[in-house]
Amino acid sequence: MTSPGPSGGAVRAHHLFGPLARRTGARVTAAHGRRGLPGLALSVAAASAGWLRPVAVATTQLVPAPGLAMLRGRVRPVAVDLHDHPVLQAEALHVALEPGRRERLDELFEANVAAFERLIVPSRSFSDLCGLPADRVVVVTNGTDSGRIVPAPLPAEPTVALVSGAAPGRGIELLLEAMEQVRQAVPEAVLRLALSSTGPASASYRADLAASLGQRRWVSLEDVPYAGLGAFLAGAWVMVVPHPPGEYYDASTPVKLFDALASGRPVVVTPRLETRRIIEEADAGVVASDDADGLAEAIAGLLGDPDRSATLGANGRQAAEERYDWSVLGEQLADALLADLA
């Protein structure tokens, strides 16, 4: 298997079908074929004749029209992972789509929904938001690699950290505002931002943000490859997932949340539906309000209480190992799909 990329979707693609492939002897491809069958980041698990006839296909990305045209006859389209909706995601990130592109992406999404028997989604609320048929949905939340990301003692310096794509509308500006208040209560507090560029607009945003920091030397803007994520998380005292209000963010279960749980760090989240549910069920952090005052209060409270931070972090680590490790989630998915195919 290849190493996962920096995005949550690439990490999910890397892990999702691992148990299914092992249990069926499936062939896993990692690149698009000439006719459009998908592959990126281990996205296709195509069973050999020893699994079932006809050949069964499962994919972690949308299949373009040429590939969909092949999914007939002796090729059985078993499952597609719909971890994002391309149009709804663009709207949530305030990304303007070129004329006609919105319609093409909507058509692509709907064509995949129609083509595959099972629709894998990261949350039930995401399925509802996309209007998917409930009887064909398999819910597999995002997860973490708890073998790669491991706990460490709390750092000596009160460090707050964020992992995100570099883009507006992801709570980055809100966190900066909140940290100005945190430093009034905890003057030595610092903020580490691991922001990945996902394209030219993202790179431009990142450059503008770096220029705007000015004399705020307590903020560091860092490039953190996935291989170095564990070390980055180990250097934090508090992790923050400050998603802004919106239906798409309510339905999101970001990979960075589960990586934070695996690191044994308490997590501060804003009151989005799924992230709030996960944190409260695991008792692994604090749900703050959507304003800078509330976010600052939650962060400062954890920085001032190492015992509570350690307890919440330990709870999160337990949840990561028992419920949200990719191996656990992948086995659950394999069970569900193989039951359908039996």
Does the pLDDT of residue 72 top 90, yes or no?
A: no
Does the pLDDT of residue 103 top 90, yes or no?
A: yes
Does the pLDDT of residue 2 top 80, yes or no?
A: no
What is d(CA 87, CA 50) in angstroms, rounded to the nearest whole number?
A: 38
What is d(CA 196, CA 205) in angstroms, rounded to the nearest whole number?
A: 11
pLDDT at 158: 98
Give the pLDDT mean for 99-106: 92
Give the pLDDT mean for 171-191: 97
Give the pLDDT mean for 113-119: 95
Which of these ranges, 33-42, 101-110, 159-168, 317-326, has the smallest mean pLDDT? 33-42
Does the pLDDT of residue 52 top 80, yes or no?
A: no
pLDDT at 161: 98
DSSP3 helix / strand / coil % (the chain, rounded to 5):
45, 15, 40
Which of these ranges, 28-37, 148-157, 310-319, has the smallest mean pLDDT? 28-37
Does the pLDDT of residue 190 top 90, yes or no?
A: yes
pLDDT at 127: 98
Which of these ranges, 94-98, 204-208, 257-261, 331-335, has the smallest mean pLDDT? 94-98
Does the pLDDT of residue 50 top 70, yes or no?
A: no
What is d(CA 192, CA 233) in angstroms, rounded to the nearest whole number?
A: 10
The answer, yes or no, to whether the previous bond of 151 is cis (omega within 30 of 0) is no
What is d(CA 315, CA 309) in angstroms, rounded to the nearest whole number?
A: 10
Give the pLDDT mean for 14-40: 69
The pLDDT tens digits of the residues spanning 216-265 come to: 999 999 999 888 999 999 999 999 999 999 999 999 999 999 999 999 99
pLDDT at 54: 62
Does the pLDDT of residue 7 top 90, yes or no?
A: no
- The mean of the pLDDT values for the chain is 89
